[in-house]
Structure 1
Amino acid sequence: MMDAVSKDMSAVPGMDAMDMALMQACMDACSACEQACVVCSTQMMDCAPACMNCADMCNTMMRAMLRMQGMTPASMMAMLDACIAMCQTCEDMCLPHAEMSEVCRMCAQACRACIDACQAVKDSMTV
């Protein structure tokens, strides 16, 4: 799959130098975060709305990274920033429940991993 994405990106000015390993790690983290957030949103705690929003954002980020047509460096940065912000909000909402809910703990960890992966992609784009 990454070979197809790489070919798509080579036609986009400014996106041809993207690190495919970082992109794959980011997509994997987005997928894991989306899944954890969906499960966490069923816990009926006050973090549920943040988890649902985060799941949607992670899914959107992952799909955008798979479909690079129309993506520019500025739009990629904006998407990464939005995903980081949403994951940070979700992590902040789930952490207070982490001691009493294994699901919230795992969700917060998945959010942190997604933040770190998105930041790594951003950092690779600004070098």
Structure 2
Amino acid sequence: MTRAAQMLETYPGDFGFDAAALAECIAACQECAQTCTACADACLAEEQVADLRSCITHNLNCAAVCTAAAAVLSRQTAYDDAVTRAVLEACAAACRACGDECAHHGEMGMEHCRVCADACRRCEQACRALLAAAS
């Protein structure tokens, strides 16, 4: 069980999502942020770092958006549907863009980018699933 799930189990109020889906999305966002940060760092260590500028930017943008999404989703007391939907949509979009960029480099043998693309895909799916559940 993730810490997010443990915290949601102890939450004294109600929230507008299925607890398991919410916990999964928070965990996916946190994992993706860490993975994207590590991927950006690995890209900086590559010989052809100049060719990876776009990938590094996507990684850093995705990490920032995922971190913000996890924080917003972790605060349910004064739930704001419009803000939650906007952050989930932004996170899914950032994950899609980063996942596409990293998948390209992963196909060219950069294993760190392949791992990152997988994390981005998982996070994008979790955000979209939570959006669908909130409809």
1:115 aligns with 2:124: yes
TM, length-normalised to structure 2: 0.82
Distance in 1, Cα, partners of 2:110 & 2:12 = 40
Could you say what secondary structure the match of 1:98 adopts? Answer: helix
Residue 105 of structure 2 aligns with which residue?
97
Measure, in 2, the Cα distance between the counterparts of 1:69 and 1:77.
16
Deviation at 1:95, TM superposition (A): 1.2
Partner of 1:78: 86
CA spacing shift, 1:5–1:62, aligned 2, 3 Å = farther
The RMSD of aligned alpha carbons is 1.4
Structure 2 unaligned spans of 5+: 1-6, 45-51
Instruction: Write the distance in 2 (CA, Å) between the matches of 1:71 and 1:78.
Output: 13
Please list the CA deviations of residues 53-76 of structure 1 after superposition, one character each: whole Å capped at 9, or x if unmatched.
100111110011111244311211
Quote the sequence identity (%): 34
Cα displacement (A) at 1:120: 0.7
Q: Pick closer, same or farther for the CA change 1:116–1:6 going to 2, 3 Å.
A: farther
- AA partner of residue 21 (structure 1): A
Name whichever structure is richer in helix by fraction. Answer: 2
Deviation per CA, 1:26-49: give whole Å up to 9, x if none. Answer: 011111111110011111323001
Contact 1:50 1:89 in 2 (8 A): yes
- The count of residues paired between Structure 1 and Structure 2 equals 119
Summarize the alignment of residues 43-62 of structure 1 with structure 2, pairs less than 5 Å apart: 43-44=43-44, 45-46=52-53, 47-62=55-70
Q: Distance in 2 between matches of 1:66 and 1:17?
A: 12
Distance in 1 between the 2:93 and 2:12 partners?
26
Partner of 1:26: 25
Say yes or no: does 1:2 pair with 2:11. no
Answer whether contact 1:5 1:68 (CA < 8 A) is retained.
no
* Secondary structure of 1:71's aligned partner: coil
The answer for unaligned runs of 5 or more in structure 1 is 11-15
Report the CA distance shift for 1:17/1:63 in structure 2 as closer, same or farther (over 3 A). Answer: closer
